[in-house]
Structure 1
């Protein structure tokens, strides 16, 4: 994968094309602030990175679309993306075209038809990145993920502030989580994690998942067996309590208990007769009427007794008055007429005196009344006897009705109890049925144990196969080979510590020199020229290994302003402006020539056809350097963005 061309489009439809040689050295030199450093941002933006890092200013204001044509072995891929709308910081939408020889699209043909995820997936596949998954130790909290084309960015760009940085070797190494991403994915890109290993690891993850499920099922089955006897005894006791099982020996074994529970499944509820609520209502009405009759009869008895009591009192009073008048009996009585005679009257004198008449009349009246009262007593006594007998009969009927009512109510309670017992029994039978259904059978338990043994064997076998892959040794061997080339390139740069073996340390992401007395990391070395040499040596050695072993890393490297270290100051370097005179006057020409000579030979001898893109302020008269120029030095104009292009506000 290389860069065929870069294209930018103005808001009014104009296009600017920048063509590269896909093989060899490409140099863009010129004044500062002409857009050279933005090229790496544009390439990265069109390789599936959503974040838009193109500097603020002319490019953002005047460019509507960015496009890059990538050259693969058998095809070309165009990726175009619009500038994020409304000054946004990211854009995920893109346009994609594929073909053997693509035509550069016109502005009117630019249309979104895909997104960054699809771009990343396509470029990763065309690069040949195998199916993979980063290895994460069980004790680590980070998630495993797939390596893709975005994980090659670390080795494609050496920007102005990075190319001679003693504390940072790879692009974006200083960002959070990315150092670990480099450590996780570089072994995959270098071929340590092969496709066969990926398949083994994928199969192992599946087998481990199946084993976890099997362990859980087997554990549940064994727990169920351990507790089934206690559950069975409990259910057996409940079944006995509700009457669906007769009493049995409490010491019977588990099989007998299970057999007894199984017999419960044929239980049928008792037939419940219809209740007699209407008869109860009728009995209650009849009982109420009898009680009312009894109250009425008792009231008549009470009235008769009260009457008899008053009559008896009258008799007593009349008798007392008669007794008082018995003195009249001492008066003479005319034997002929039978009349009482007044003693003070003359013999045969009629008793016609007023006093005698009154006394005699009173005595006669009392005597008559007494005879009447005495004559009514037998009838009253007979009436009371009749009422009493009637009351006794009603009381007997009340007792009989109460007995009948109690019996009817008791019968209904029995019917209700029969329904409740059936319901309770049905609930217990249902629980017994569920228990028997979930009770592991001997055959099922044996099957679970056999399956568990098979999965344990499968996991062990896969772990052994993966263990024989000796990835750590392979990675160490690859890094040793790369480190040997790092040492060789450092010697070509004639940098400090060139006499000691240099080592690419993946855990620390730096270059370490193995001096006899102690190792020296790049961060403890001095001199920008040395740091530049270490950076480029590491990247060139890495790409050399990738190219020689057909590893899925793009075959290009973009280096931004590497010769800055050969000028007295950054100010003097920027003032070179791509001119021969200023370069020759201010730069360490020998070092500049050595750098470009090394880069040129790298693309010709070490990795023939490798694409190097260098953006610079320096310029050399050497014809090989001039042949490597993509365009005339950018001096405003020319520049990446033409001055006449309108900004978005001016369209």
Structure 2
């Protein structure tokens, strides 16, 4: 994408054309305030930016329309936009034309047929910017967005206040949010963020959306199944309460069949005994709660007994341990062998006193054994009682649901006048409930789909995780840095003997001097800053052009030789003449700059287009051949002096 021509139209229909060389160096030189610096603002306005930044004065007052013809491979695109209405600072209306070879329209042909979004979309597509989305961390509050033609502006325009600014490398870098936009989109424009990654991320977002949708259906199905028993029991209770005859329990094995039998109900005369069902359920609840209290009392008693027995068991064990140490019985109960070490065998064991003592010892032995033996039986008893109380609790809950349904039906009967009306309502609710049931096959299908989608998401995440974009970005920046030092040296910049690089994190130029790096803001001298700016931009464009990356093949530089004049006042006084340049400027430095730019378009990036707006002029033949027009004065200038304003007045 290059600039073939720029056109402006007066309010009375006249047209001014500025034609450019598509390949190589273009120079527009002349006096101050002739409209040279406005060219970059006009181009940006005609690349889809709605904000009208063209300075107030002659251009805004006397120009009705602006137009440009862009040259692509095998195609030309014309973009035209009107000057915003008085009092407005922006305009998004545009005119678009496409063709292999376009004629410049006359004023009468200018008409709005599109807007800035259309301009942006068309230029981005023709430039070859792939479908993309910026890589934003999940933890970040900012959102992802697409890189487009507007994100190339940073590298196309070096305006007068930027070209030698040590604190700002790229155009608009000093505006809010723009530094992050540069960091987000430059990797895409350099071909780092691949289309494959974008497609994988797009597919992953689609799969994650399907997982959420299927997950909601699965959750609803599981909730419906989890609560279906309770709802079915309530509906069955309501059906009984309104007198609907159900299948006998022995005739069916599921409540689904019972509920389906409700659908066969037909209106019939029934006795008005609405309260009997409620009373019967309440009586059942009273009995169940009484049984639960009785069982709980038995459990409490058993627990108290267990606590007391544990205390006795502890004491008995201690006594047993003491007596065991001195051999409780004279003879071992298992073998019959004499075991008292302090008495001879059978000494005095036949006396009444000995017999009484031995009987007491044997009784103590039996009691201790009994206490230990009762513990498992007590635990088993408590487990059984607790199971009984849990079963009764389930029965009570079911009865409470049944009672709630019966009471609801009784209320319906009272409201609707008779059982038949109430029964009709219950049948309707049963029908709706059965229709909403999730079959087991459907639940299984949803679960299979959930597993399939999650496995697919994991596979896509794995493929995305193997993306090597970070390593490729480092490699690309190294390729760009490879030429920066050479450009700095060619422009006479300081530290040209050390490797230079584009620091994307800080958006500046860094010089890797041994010991510690030097950053552009910490260097001095406008000539150095100009060298660093041009080195970074030329190296970036060289990489993009030679690797066919989607950045336009032009660069517009505004007044770069200002650093080679003794003062800003002297530079502004220069009128674009060769004599003034040779008298006031560092002629060798000026020639070195333009020779570098010419060599770049012919050798480093063949066919590249560089447009320089200047006050300086050289008598060299190659420089004069690069002049777009003869030096601008008043007249000539960008806007002819006899053009009227919107009111038809000529100053």
| Corresponding residue of 2:425 | 427
Structure 2 distance, partners of 1:418, 1:57, is 85
Question: Is 1:520–2:518 an aligned residue pair?
Answer: yes
The worse-fitting range, judged by mean Cα deviation, of 125-134 and 3-12 is: 125-134
| Corresponding residue of 1:452 | 450
| Corresponding residue of 2:62 | 62
| Corresponding residue of 1:91 | 91
Equivalences for residues 41-56 of structure 1 within 5 A: 41-56=41-56
**Deviation of 1:98 (Å):** 1.7
Structure 1 distance, partners of 2:416, 2:270, is 6
On the 8 A contact 1:10/1:64 being kept in 2, the answer is yes
| Corresponding residue of 1:647 | 645
Secondary structure, aligned partner of 1:431:
helix
| Corresponding residue of 2:459 | 461
| Corresponding residue of 1:485 | 483
| Corresponding residue of 1:108 | 108
Cα distance per residue 1:517-570 (max 9 Å; x no partner): 223322222221111111111111111111111111110000001111112221
Structure 1 distance, partners of 2:550, 2:544, is 7
On the 8 A contact 1:30/1:633 being kept in 2, the answer is yes
| Corresponding residue of 1:532 | 530
2:540 to 542, 547, 550: 542
Secondary structure, aligned partner of 2:129:
coil
On the 8 A contact 1:272/1:419 being kept in 2, the answer is no
Structure 1 distance, partners of 2:446, 2:415, is 46
Secondary structure, aligned partner of 1:69:
strand
On the 8 A contact 1:493/1:594 being kept in 2, the answer is yes
| Corresponding residue of 2:214 | 214
CA separation of 1:62 and 1:418: change in aligned 2, threshold 3 A: closer
Equivalences for residues 7-156 of structure 1 within 5 A: 7-156=7-156
Structure 2 distance, partners of 1:265, 1:80, is 73
Q: Give the total of aligned pairs.
A: 508
- 5+ residue gaps in structure 2? 272-412
- 5+ residue gaps in structure 1? 274-414
**Deviation of 1:36 (Å):** 0.3
Structure 1 distance, partners of 2:76, 2:554, is 15
2:629 to 607, 628, 631: 631
On the 8 A contact 2:245/2:265 being kept in 1, the answer is no
Secondary structure, aligned partner of 1:85:
coil
CA separation of 1:269 and 1:484: change in aligned 2, threshold 3 A: farther
**Deviation of 1:489 (Å):** 1.8
1:571 to 551, 569, 572: 569
Secondary structure, aligned partner of 1:44:
helix
**Deviation of 1:271 (Å):** 4.5
On the 8 A contact 1:240/1:247 being kept in 2, the answer is no
Coordinate RMSD, CA, aligned: 2.3
1:595 to 558, 574, 593: 593
Secondary structure, aligned partner of 2:643:
coil
Structure 2 distance, partners of 1:34, 1:416, is 95
Equivalences for residues 196-345 of structure 1 within 5 A: 196-244=196-244, 256-271=254-269
Secondary structure, aligned partner of 1:97:
strand
> Could you tell me the TM-score, scaled by structure 1's length?
0.74
2:472 to 463, 471, 474: 474
On the 8 A contact 1:270/1:418 being kept in 2, the answer is no
Secondary structure, aligned partner of 1:440:
coil
CA separation of 1:135 and 1:225: change in aligned 2, threshold 3 A: same
On the 8 A contact 1:272/1:418 being kept in 2, the answer is no
Secondary structure, aligned partner of 1:559:
strand
**Deviation of 1:606 (Å):** 0.1
| Corresponding residue of 1:281 | none
Cα distance per residue 1:491-516 (max 9 Å; x no partner): 32231222332221222222222233
Secondary structure, aligned partner of 2:145:
coil
Cα distance per residue 1:380-426 (max 9 Å; x no partner): xxxxxxxxxxxxxxxxxxxxxxxxxxxxxxxxxxx988843233333
CA separation of 1:264 and 1:543: change in aligned 2, threshold 3 A: same
| Corresponding residue of 1:169 | 169
CA separation of 1:174 and 1:422: change in aligned 2, threshold 3 A: farther
Structure 1 distance, partners of 2:214, 2:76, is 50
Secondary structure, aligned partner of 2:86:
helix
Cα distance per residue 1:72-126 (max 9 Å; x no partner): 1101111111111224211111222222222111112222222111111111111
Cα distance per residue 1:230-255 (max 9 Å; x no partner): 22233333333333356988xx9x96
On the 8 A contact 2:246/2:262 being kept in 1, the answer is no
**Deviation of 1:435 (Å):** 2.4
Equivalences for residues 360-375 of structure 1 within 5 A: none
**Deviation of 1:610 (Å):** 0.4
**Deviation of 1:198 (Å):** 2.2
Secondary structure, aligned partner of 1:512:
strand
Question: Is 1:557–2:555 an aligned residue pair?
Answer: yes
The worse-fitting range, judged by mean Cα deviation, of 564-573 and 439-448 is: 564-573
